Structure 1
Amino acid sequence: MDSPGESMVARAILDSSDRILSADPPIELLHIRAGGAAEDRLAVAPIARIVRLARRLGIAVSRKVCVADEEGDLDLWVQARPETGQIRLSVSGWRDRAAWRPRATPRDYAAAGADFLWEADAALRLTFLSPDAGCRHGFDATAMLGRPLNALFVLDGASGPGLLSDSTPLDGRGARLRPTDAPVRLSAAIRHDGMGGIAGLVGATYLIDPPDEDEGARPSRAAPLTDSFTAGLDRALRTPLARIVANADSIAARADGPIASDYAEYATDIAHAGRHLIGLVDNLVELQAIEQPDFTLAATPIDLADVARRAAGLLGVRADAAGVAVSRPGPADSLPALGDFGRSLQILINLIGNALRYSPRGGEVLVSVADEEEWAVVRVADHGKGIAPEDQPRIFEKFERVDPTEPGGNGLGLYIARRLARAMGGDLGVESAPGEGATFTFRLRTR
């Protein structure tokens, strides 16, 4: 479609059902090329959304939109004005823009000798796999489509938000095929949409030949996160996430006036999601520190019973909201140990918080202390669904969760907690069985 020119204003009148009563040729042609017929509702979706919004609010609404049209896009300025059951539409701007073309396509990787190709959308769900990928490599490629990227790959090292915040998110990254545990290397590039936003990833998979028996076992893990990565992630995400959470909390609290309860609930969900992402950023920054080869913690005299009391107290509001009682050491209880007060508090907040998350309403979390020879021991027990023996080693690994579909958590808390415990000369373990709850044991030396 030839653009009518930026200064040209095309007009139309729509009835109460969004059907065109009259329209200038440019608007009528857009409607037809979008698949609309004379008796159909306005078929140009971006313009139709503005029309519906104006009708619902009962006021004139003006917006800039981008409309896809054959081989090009059109930037338009649209105004919709309600008038006695009709909508008077004015469309101006009419600026041509080259249609979006992906910066990277699967063909870009085909010549590099990849074993198979894949694509994922902005939510990191698989949208394309090479047709023969599954039969050649031991998984059902059709069943994988629409599932998260981590359903197919277990990435070595950190993953998550960094995959869509770097121009080369996967450049030879080590990984394993989850269905077969085969080692692979991944390469990918970010795909951008027509507005310059992130539309997902397009990438390639290269299988790594298994080593000979005399060459050792599995390939070494990726290097720890770098200072520049975590510092950049912190700067890039913390401020906008904090702003999102603050605004969502303000909306949920109806600070600027009454709103429908559904919208308040949506705002609460947004705030919870924002806090979850801030927690992930915190954990990734923490991860950078604890994975340094020289990471150590000073061992100073602390009262581990006092630390346990404080941790339980800090989570009192969350426990009340969850309807779960927390039994903690009494004021007279004392348990001398050698460790770092702040890090010990961090570990116990993580353990008690997890216990609250998995405890049923009306249940109880028991926090107890004991002096066992040269060890000072804190146990955090819940009456949740428990953890199968085969899953217990996994929960202390990075980005591993027994059930990824459950809300909350990012698979880093227990990994960090155990690393911190061992950096203080102690340890962290679990005893559990399905249906019988779980007991986490945090121990530090007494001398």
Structure 2
Amino acid sequence: MSERIIRGRVDRAGALISADAPLLRLQQRAGSGLDKPLALPHLARLVALAQRLHRDISRPLYAADDHSDIHALIRIVPDADGANLEISDWRTRPVTLPQVPAIADAAAVPQSWTWECDPQLRLVALRAALDAPAIPEGWEGRSLSELFELQPDEDGRFPVLRALARQSRFEGQRVQVAGMAMNLSGEALFDATGHFTGFRGLAIVAEGEVAAEPKAAAALVDPAFGSLPLSDPQFGRRIDGALRGPLSRIIATAETISGQFDGPIRADYARYAGDIAHAGRHLLGLVDDLADLQNIERPGFKTARDEIDLGDLARRAVGLLGMKAEEKGIRIDAPRTDDKAPATGEFRRVLQVLLNLLGNAIRYSPENSQIWIRVDREGDRAMVTVADQGQGIDADQQAVVFEKFERLGRTDSGGSGLGLYIARRLARAMDGDLTVDSAPGQGARFTLSLPAREA
């Protein structure tokens, strides 16, 4: 670190016409030099902004070259002929290369994808080796857990979630995607100031493992989870074309802006973009709920009779939503790998119900609380219960909580009020039921019961 001021001068056209050694060296490493345009995009944008506003600007400056990451404070003083640059608190940190191959070296490991995500675990890069399976379309901006179905280890834990909490490297995270079993590993990334910026790693096709059936895996990675083809094909196409496609693009664009992948922007603009993405996801969820509503209420609606294990499906639900719980400091006590509850029901629909129950528990639980998921059997019924430490539900509210569009007086954008109605209709269509047991201040216990089968 140097306490002295590093100075430079930019003319009206944006060319660097004078610079102290550290700034000039950075300009040259970026492929430019004196009397040439600034080759540092962040700095060039700040200079242009100061000249347009005709006032001094002070901002953090982030830059990097082949040797180090750089963090400093820049003051830009514009005048009629250009702008003076005053850089202080210039800090450098040598670049530490991660232990996993870089994105450019995807071909180094056979049967692999290289990936990179931001601090919110949204994918920002994904590349396949030459002999690797094709990458699913539409991965850009999606959550890591949307693309990869996370599988717990032998202790029922998820290595990637532990690494996220500790901001450290991980390996041995088993996943399934597009009908394949893969092993995920990653290295934590940090910027020049030591702030966590995400992960970079490998996804390698697992040897000797049986992948999930393609239909089930495709259902798990569908970003519009839970929807099925509508009974009216024309109406279904109209919904997809008029709402789902544009909403998906709005969400992806807003998340790109919010994540500042194309360069830094004002903090309030990033928050606005985050709000747009949140609203878009809410509307997309409403589209899915309405599509499901039409489907389950049509005459003759039936569900498949798959042989399932409620313990396995509960762990899958935790794998898909565990990161949302981590963001609130909520611990999920999931069934152990040897906790089994064989049952009969449609694989995708049962998982849809469990995702709704667990999502509600996360949404309405206080921070740093706990959620329990237990499986059991009583007679000819196999059961899975999701219990939280939220505010609970009054007895009179329990009578209406499963009604259509009922949100118990809430005015937030947390849901459509259709989730529990659809969940109970699905449970009963599978010859089961969905019930609630709760009291004010004592949390809520939702129990899904289905016909049991012998293991």
The alignment's TM-score, normalised by the length of structure 2, stands at 0.48
The alignment's TM-score, normalised by the length of structure 1, stands at 0.49
Q: Which has the larger radius of gyration?
A: 1
